[in-house]
Amino acid sequence: MKNYFEEIGAWPRSHNIAGSYAVGFALSLMLTFAAYEFVVQNALPHGWLVAVVVGAAILQFIVQVYCFLHIGTDSSTRERLFALSFAGLLMLILVSGSLWIMFDLNGRMRPDSTQMVQYMNDQGGF
């Protein structure tokens, strides 16, 4: 008898769930500690260090998507991939829009040097 998740194809019985979680957890820990050690030991020049940390983050994202969200290359995971892509697009729009607003308001709220000198002269300094 299939449960609801097996019927909709979200949790296929043929997939070893516990093994996938254990492997994903181990790989995530290894990638995190590897990036941490590279940074703490200052083993590489700054540019290479940033590249290694970003590469480890991308690999960890792929491991977590495959092992924890079970999004693979088969056609049954296409809906979950679309949902994940849509959530990523919404997050990108939200974060970029917030940063755009904050930087724009920062430029509008900051007085220029002539306004600051005039204010300091009018107020008599600090």
Same domain, 62 and 119: no
Q: How many domains does the chain have?
A: 2
Same domain, 42 and 25: yes
Same domain, 92 and 42: no
49 pLDDT above the threshold of 90: yes
Same domain, 2 and 64: yes
Same domain, 12 and 62: yes
CA triple 26-53-73, angle to 5 deg? 55
Q: Decide: pTM greater than 0.75.
A: no
Q: Among 55, 70, 85, where does a domain finish?
A: 70
Same domain, 51 and 113: no
Please give the residue range of the domain that contains residue 4: 1-70
Same domain, 63 and 5: yes
Same domain, 5 and 64: yes
Distance CA 34, CA 60 (A): 11
Confidence of residue 61 (pLDDT cuts 50, 70, 90): very high
Same domain, 80 and 65: no
Q: What is the pLDDT of residue 72?
A: 74
Can you tell me which residue has the tokens 């755009």?
Answer: 100
Same domain, 24 and 82: no
One-letter identity of residue 68:
F
Highest mean pLDDT among 5-14, 61-70, 94-103, 113-122: 94-103
Same domain, 109 and 123: yes
Same domain, 54 and 110: no
How far is the CA of 86 from the CAs of 6, 97, 124, in angstroms? Answer: 23, 16, 56
